[in-house]
């Protein structure tokens, strides 16, 4: 499924990098897992992540925890969220079910009236309309609902490939200027930041990271590149494939800008997929766009690596 690659964690991690610093330093607190919460921006960032999750919940009220077969089972929604106490009683902790609704914490969002009925229940149709108005295209765009080819990069990667040492996957379209740092390239079109601490068994910074590394849990991310590919170069699938074959490049680098040996990225699996997107006739649908007919394209990622 093309939709299964995009996730909130990927976006969350990139904000930590963009706010916290780059390979030239000095680094801000947001760049490092152990001290990120000391930056006031951290709290603004996570409040916004909560808001985005709430919008997703309002549009998908039936979705919550889903147990799937994998290397590491998902945690239960009844698992205590230590150290967040409900009261002063020992062992009385919140769990995910208890905070599924924001009113359980006695707060709300200013848009609640736009997505609920008179009883305060969230209505998915209203949520879709609100989200589309907030983030969708302007209304005049619906006068020309043309179909467009939509190339995307889907990535599976191991956040703990270097024992938790954080690294980036960077994607470029065009010629890379080797006199400029990787993350300041004008042709940079997308990035993935692992945002991980060094992992040890007694690591008090992130015990969950240790468990995920031990279970060899892999992560996913997606880089939409439709808008950076000239429209005249993606009128046909073969045309888009040929253009991307000539121009699309990538590299993995550590926080300090040092390049990663591509042969060490054993669990990185990248695919280029091309499908079709088209604006629907109005803003009130589940999505402003409909996406269909995505097919993986043969692409030599080893050759495209900036070695």
What 3-state DSSP class applies to 288?
coil
Residue 259 has what DSSP assignment? B
Give the predicted TM-score (pTM) of the model: 0.89
Please state, in angstroms and rounded to a whole number, the distance separating the CA atoms of residues 196 and 209: 8
pLDDT, residue 60, reads 87
Domain residue extents for the chain: 2-38+136-304
Residues in the chain: 307
For position 13, what pLDDT does the model report? 95
Q: In what order do the strands lie in the sheet with 188-193?
A: 188-193, 167-173, 248-254
pLDDT of residue 293: 84
Residue 103 has which token pair?
């009113």
152 preceded by a cis bond (ω within 30 of 0):
no
Nearest to 196 by CA among 161, 166, 229, 227: 166
Confidence (pLDDT) at 143: 66
Amino acid 222: pLDDT: 96
Mean pLDDT per block of 10 residues along the chain (307 residues) reads 82 93 76 92 96 92 75 77 88 92 89 90 88 80 73 95 92 95 93 88 72 89 94 92 97 91 93 85 61 89 92
User: In the prediction, which pLDDT does 255 show?
Assistant: 84
Please state the separation of Cα 307 from the chain's center in Å: 26
């Amino acid at each position: 499924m093309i939709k299964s690659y995009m996730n909130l964690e990927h976006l969350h991690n990139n904000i930590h990098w963009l706010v916290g610093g780059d390979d030239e330093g000095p680094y801000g607190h947001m760049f490092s897992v152990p001290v990120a919460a000391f930056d006031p921006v951290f709290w603004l960032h996570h409040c916004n992540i909560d808001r985005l999750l709430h919008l997703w919940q309002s549009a998908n009220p039936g979705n919550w925890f889903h147990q799937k077969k994998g290397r590491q089972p998902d945690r239960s929604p009844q698992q205590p969220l230590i150290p967040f106490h409900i009261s002063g009683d020992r062992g009385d902790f919140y769990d995910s079910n208890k905070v599924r609704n924001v009113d359980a914490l006695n707060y709300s969002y200013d848009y609640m009236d736009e997505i609920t009925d008179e009883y305060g229940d969230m209505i998915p149709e209203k949520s879709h309309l609100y989200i589309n108005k907030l983030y969708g295209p302007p209304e005049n765009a619906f006068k020309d609902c043309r179909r467009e080819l939509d190339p995307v990069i889907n990535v599976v990667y191991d956040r703990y490939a270097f024992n938790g040492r954080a690294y980036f996957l960077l994607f470029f379209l065009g010629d890379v200027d080797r006199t400029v740092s990787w993350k300041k390239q004008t042709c940079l079109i997308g990035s993935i930041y692992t945002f991980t601490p060094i992992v040890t068994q007694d690591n008090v910074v992130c015990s969950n990271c240790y468990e995920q590394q031990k279970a060899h849990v892999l992560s996913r991310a997606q880089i939409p590149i439709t808008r950076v590919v000239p429209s005249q170069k993606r009128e046909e699938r073969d045309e888009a494939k040929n253009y991307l074959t000539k121009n699309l490049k990538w590299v993995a680098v550590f926080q300090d800008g040092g390049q990663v040996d591509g042969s060490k990225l054993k669990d990185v699996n990248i695919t280029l997929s091309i499908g079709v997107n088209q604006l629907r006739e109005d803003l009130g649908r589940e999505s402003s766009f409909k996406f269909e007919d995505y097919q993986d394209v043969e692409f030599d990622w080893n050759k495209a690596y900036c070695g």
